[in-house]
Amino acid sequence: MLKIWGRDNSVNVEKVLWACEELDIPYQRVDAGGQFGIVDSPQYRAMNPNGLVPTVEVDGLVLWESNAIVRYLAAKHSDGDLWPHDLAVRVEADRWMDWSGTMFWPAFRDLFWNLVRTPQAQRDPAAIERSHARSAKLLGYLDAHLAGRTHIAGDRFTMGDIPMGCAVWRWMSLPIERPEYPALKRWFKTLCERPCYRKVVMKPLT
């Protein structure tokens, strides 16, 4: 059975859990990272030298990097569906997956960490403001993209929706002001109707 190491409040672990749920892949999850430790043990580092979560063991392989794991599972279990065959559609899914990790999350991290994981007295107001402004600006790009389609890679759900779907749940759940982004809101509402998103992603922020 597929085995996932990672605490279930990690955005990157959630991507893998959500993919498994959508694809009906049985899995066993082991708490690791954050307060659970484990990630600095020599055994864990031998699997994942980064000491980060998630790490996945499947098909005799050890995988890390959440988007690579989602791509592997989609290609193996959902060829032509979550893993689009049409290269133009797949590259659209791919680029927003990468954008999520390389553009959006670095911009959003300070806002999330300060408001969710930092005691009030220790919060950094300047970092919060900067991160809020930058995140809002970047989400404007996604809103403009979604104005022409129901999902990130076109008019159906694909792997491309998974990383930003996990991130946007956090953006929508924080006690902050949000610009009116109608297409983003419509897409988010569509995700909220998916049973697997409700099960894995839609939970209080911790």
Ligand X SMILES: N[C@@H](CCC(=O)N[C@@H](CS)C(=O)NCC(=O)O)C(=O)O
- Give residues in contact with ligand X (CB under 6 A): 10-12, 33-34, 39, 52-54, 65-67, 101
Residue 196 burial by CB count (10 A; 0-12/13-18/19+): exposed, middle or buried? middle
Cβ closest to ligand X, residue 69 vs residue 138: 69
Q: Closer CB to ligand X, residue 128 or residue 167?
A: 167
Instruction: Give the distance, in angstroms, between the CA of residue 29 and the centroid of all CA atoms in the same chain.
Output: 17
What's the rounded Cα separation, in Å, for the pair 201 and 195?
Answer: 10
Shortest gap between Cβ of 53 and ligand X (angstroms)? 4
Residue whose CB is nearest to ligand X in the complex, by number: 33
Minimum Å gap between C-beta 195 and ligand X is 24
| H or E, element range at 96 | helix 87-99
Measured from the CB atom, the residue of 33 and 165 that comes closer to ligand X is 33
Question: Is there a contact between 123 and 129 (Cβ–Cβ < 8 Å)?
Answer: no
Please state the closest distance from residue 39 (CB atom) to ligand X, in A. 5
Closest approach of Cβ 102 to ligand X, in Å? 9
**Residue closer to ligand X (CB basis): 11 or 82:** 11
Closer CB to ligand X, 7 or 90, in the complex: 7
Output the smallest distance, CB 143 to ligand X, in A: 24
Identify whether the C-beta of residue 146 lies closer than 8 Å to the C-beta of residue 87: no
Contacts of residue 188, defined as CB under 8 A and 6 or more positions apart, other chains included, come to 168, 169, 172
Residue 44 or 188: the one with the smaller Cβ distance to ligand X is: 44
The pair of structure tokens assigned to 134 is 């930058």
CB 54 → ligand X: shortest distance, Å?
6
Q: Which string of b and e fits 151-175 if b means at least 16 CB within 10 Å?
A: bbbbeebbbbbbbbbbbbbbbbebe
Pairing of strands 2-5, 27-30: parallel
